[in-house]
Structure 1
Amino acid sequence: MHTTACVGVTQAQRSVAQQRAKEAALDGRQDPWKTSQWFTSPWNFLPEVTEDFALPAKVLIHDVTLRDGEQQAGVEFTQGDKLRIAEGLAEAGVHRIEAGMPAVSPSDEAAVRAIVKAGLPAEIYAFSRCMLDDVKRALDTGVSGVVMEIPSCHHLIRTAYRWEVERALDLSIEATAFAHAHGLKVSFFPIDATRAGMVQLLEDLKRVATEGHVDSVGLVDTFGVIAPHTVGYFVRSVRNSLGVPLETHFHMDFGLGVANTLIAVSQGAQVIQTTVAGIGERAGNTPMEETVLALRTMYGVDTGIKTERFFDLARLVLTLAGVSQPSNRSVIGERLFHVESGIITTWTKNSGDELTEPFPYRPELVGQPQPVVVLGKGSGLDNVAIWLDRLGIEATQGEMLEILAGVKSASLQTKALLGEDQFRTIVELVKPGCFAGTGEVRVRL
């Protein structure tokens, strides 16, 4: 059993969040909730909120896009795709990359080898079942670690696998011991752990850790069924029972992956398993972008990930995956910083460069373009004024009201935002001949 990295709660751990907040306030430094790049809630950092935190000194990102992400129905990455994505992950500072499962196919095995050979500045892991042949294939690719899966919920073992429970335990003990003996780091991955009985799960994990070997254990919520208020107790129970580093693996079937991951980290989980844009089986995996950004801006935990690469990395992965996302998707949505509402446009205009007043974080923090004022049914006079100003057109208050009415009507009819040509047509109707001599200058918003 691995015992050199015990993560039991200490007073030092409990005070990490408070200490970070105090340090940020010293020497005129910015508050942790309000910096030049973001403005979140000061309530997040109150001692009454953070006093029971057990934040780890460092949080690592273990990306599973190339394995679990590819399990999303219809997503098929080529070897070249996987290498490009791995390079993008490494450029963003991801600490560990799960390159794939060599046992799946010769193509998957070749992709893992290619990623290892690329010499990226990240630890490369493979995924395997707790079977010796799987582990041998992973070992042969040159990876430094292996994530080893086995069903942990007795219901799943008997119903879905049609195994006896003892078989799952024996395979786990044999395979983890073999992997460790051959120099691989072992991340034990108990499938469906959150649907297993607590006593049964802890006893089984102890047995594998004692008779086999684990360097870390995954808190695996395979079906996304654990509630946020339960996660803290779940983490503490496993942590206190095993005394080894814990890794999170939450799914999004109920949309709770990010919340559950944040709570798990606050209670000492040291590694979080995520995918780019949250792609993955069924409703997907915990998305890296929201999780890393929330840790940094709401918990004072800087993972070292280059958040400014999020937008481009997500576009790369989604393009290669052939997957679309909502345009207003948090962090990476292409229209996330488009402003149609009249009141928000006024806020944005009045705030000038203080973009953390109308937005919780600046677009460049996540690699997004600057805010764009658009025209639609919800727009106000300031939207019209901004567009007119950029076209070099002056108008009275009455004319602007007429133009705004035209904008609202046209947007409602088309159920879409207006483009520049449509706006020019409306303006021309209200102010005939206003574009004479202005040339073909186009609005760049």
Structure 2
Amino acid sequence: MTEKWRNDKWFTSSWNFAEEVTKNLHFQKNIKIHDVSLRDGEQQAGLIFDYKQKMALAEKMSEMGIHRIEAGMPAVSQQDRQVIVDLAKRRDLQSEIFAFARCMVDDVKRAADCGVKGVIIEIPCNEEMITKAYGWTMEKALELSIQASIAAKEAGLYTVFFPIDMTRASMSWSLDLLSHVAANGHMDALAIVDTMGVLMPHTVPFLVDTVRSKLPGKPIELHFHDDYGLGAANTIMGLAAGADVAHTTIGAIGERAGNAPYEDVALALLTMYGVDLGLDYSQIYPLNKMMREFSGLPIRGNRGITGDTVFNIESGIVADWYKQSHETDPLITNSYLPALTGHPDTQIVLGKHSGISSVDVWLEEAAIQLDKEQKRTLVADVKARAYEKHGLLNQADFDQLVAKYR
């Protein structure tokens, strides 16, 4: 069977593709992922990638087909600037290299001097942030926006206007700011920026449509944070409303709760919406592992898509499903194959919830044959050992339990 929801790599839901659902989806044909791990991602408290690590991450992202990489902010440090310069020089990278700049002419010039393809120009949008955090007048914010965006155009940079905290600004002021910059300054694209991660998914289509009506013909980019765990959902809602570019990070790293994780966005689009971003999806898990090894950041083992143990099965019931169907149809117990994301295959582990089918797998591996009563006794012993360890059994535990049967 080959359907958008069912093939040899994934098995999701036919409900996702009902006409009543899909008629409301308006995905663009060439959606891009704009990765901000090396800039916004590194703003996570205590997170630092050194030069070699940034280069390795960028190479891996390019290898998997990430469309754009925001390599950093030249004004932050000489080390950051060098990464941007060296990545921009690389002709073997598939990804376009962008830099990040404050809404200052000098920052824009620094970005241009790095040889990047484009620049993200930030300006505070929330009135309270402008006056209380920056100590500016509203007029100054408008003036700086015009000056910096024109400087970017004159430098030949693809310019993405990036209004910080736009979603907490008043609707009238934020829309007036965008219209003013579009009319008097320059922007090739606009980023809708949910700096504090406060949007509801239901709000996003309305926001995208409203902005598009003010900026007809301008590509719309989405920069959503994950403070309420909705970064990926909001990003997908925005793309389904017709936005063109998703700003994401590897593993949701970033300021405070982080940014929308590209892994969730990309895999959900592929398997649940039938939208292929043209990525090498088998690099998803390896890239995430690389980032975690470099950063030392832990994630819970069963975290969807990128967790190390997400495909482990402890439950005896599910182990029985696996045993009965794995050889003929492994998608009975998974919504997608581990290989799709480059993850190690499913493992049957032993613990408190194990059953006969669980120990059958381990016994077969050990080439040990037991009768039904012996298996029941072994399952009881496995559960007792799990209680004792307050966790899963390892190979040594199992070997000790089955020693009397050898």
TM beyond 0.5: yes
After the TM superposition, which of the residue ranges 253-262 and 110-119 deviates more from structure 2? 110-119
Which residue in the other structure is 1:70 paired with? 42
> Which whole-Å deviations, capped at 9, do the CAs of 1:347-368 have from their partners, x for residues lacking one?
1111124221111100000000
Which residue in the other structure is 2:189 paired with? 216
Which residue in the other structure is 1:5 paired with? none
Deviation at 1:129, TM superposition (A): 0.5
Matched, 1:261 2:242: no
Deviation at 1:188, TM superposition (A): 0.7
Measure the CA separation in 1 of the matches of 2:135 and 2:356.
Answer: 66
Measure the CA separation in 2 of the matches of 1:173 and 1:357.
Answer: 56
Which residue in the other structure is 2:85 paired with? 113
Deviation at 1:267, TM superposition (A): 0.3
Q: Is the 8 A contact 2:109 2:155 kept in 1?
A: no
Counterpart of 2:53, as a letter, is D
Which residue in the other structure is 1:24 paired with? none
Measure the CA separation in 2 of the matches of 1:257 and 1:250.
Answer: 5
Deviation at 1:118, TM superposition (A): 2.2
Which residue in the other structure is 2:271 paired with? 297
Measure the CA separation in 1 of the matches of 2:49 and 2:368.
Answer: 50
Counterpart of 1:195, as a letter, is R
> Which whole-Å deviations, capped at 9, do the CAs of 1:50-94 have from their partners, x for residues lacking one?
212221111101000000010011111111111111101100100
| 1:92 counterpart (48, 64, 78) | 64
After the TM superposition, which of the residue ranges 316-325 and 367-376 deviates more from structure 2? 316-325
Counterpart of 1:392, as a letter, is A
Matched, 1:234 2:241: no
Which residue in the other structure is 2:352 paired with? 377
> Which whole-Å deviations, capped at 9, do the CAs of 1:10-61 have from their partners, x for residues lacking one?
xxxxxxxxxxxxxxxxxxx721011111111111111111212221111101
Where do residues 324-339 of structure 1 align in structure 2 (5 Å cutoff)? 324-339=298-313
Which residue in the other structure is 2:23 paired with? 51
> Which whole-Å deviations, capped at 9, do the CAs of 1:116-172 have from their partners, x for residues lacking one?
122211110000001011001000000010000001111111111111111111101
Please state whether the residue corresponding to 2:331 is helix, strand or coil: coil
Q: How many residues of Structure 1 are paired with residues of Structure 2 in the alignment?
A: 403
- Over the aligned positions, Cα root-mean-square deviation in angstroms equals 1.0
Q: For structure 2, which runs of at least 5 residues remain unmatched after alignment?
A: none
Please state whether the residue corresponding to 1:356 is helix, strand or coil: helix
Measure the CA separation in 2 of the matches of 1:202 and 1:357.
Answer: 49
Which residue in the other structure is 2:119 paired with? 146
Which residue in the other structure is 2:256 paired with? 282
> Which whole-Å deviations, capped at 9, do the CAs of 1:245-272 have from their partners, x for residues lacking one?
1011111100000110111011001100
Matched, 1:82 2:54: yes
Measure the CA separation in 2 of the matches of 1:324 and 1:146.
Answer: 32
Measure the CA separation in 2 of the matches of 1:239 and 1:394.
Answer: 67
Which residue in the other structure is 1:395 paired with? 370
**Structure 1 residue runs of 4 or more that deviate by more than 4 Å after TM superposition:** none
Which residue in the other structure is 2:284 paired with? 310
Measure the CA separation in 1 of the matches of 2:139 and 2:385.
Answer: 68
Q: Is the 8 A contact 2:223 2:246 kept in 1?
A: yes
Measure the CA separation in 2 of the matches of 1:355 and 1:221.
Answer: 39
Which residue in the other structure is 1:203 paired with? 176
Please state whether the residue corresponding to 2:373 is helix, strand or coil: helix
Q: Is the 8 A contact 2:99 2:116 kept in 1?
A: yes
> Which whole-Å deviations, capped at 9, do the CAs of 1:281-326 have from their partners, x for residues lacking one?
1111100111100011111110011110011111111111221111
Identity within the alignment, %: 44
Measure the CA separation in 1 of the matches of 2:86 and 2:143.
Answer: 32
Please state whether the residue corresponding to 1:290 is helix, strand or coil: helix
Measure the CA separation in 2 of the matches of 1:125 and 1:407.
Answer: 54
Counterpart of 1:190, as a letter, is P
| 1:101 counterpart (73, 78, 93) | 73
Which residue in the other structure is 2:226 paired with? 252
Normalised TM-score (structure 2): 0.98
After the TM superposition, which of the residue ranges 91-100 and 385-394 deviates more from structure 2? 385-394
Q: For structure 1, which runs of at least 5 residues remain unmatched after alignment?
A: 1-28, 436-445
Matched, 1:357 2:329: no
> Which whole-Å deviations, capped at 9, do the CAs of 1:393-418 have from their partners, x for residues lacking one?
11111111110001001101111110
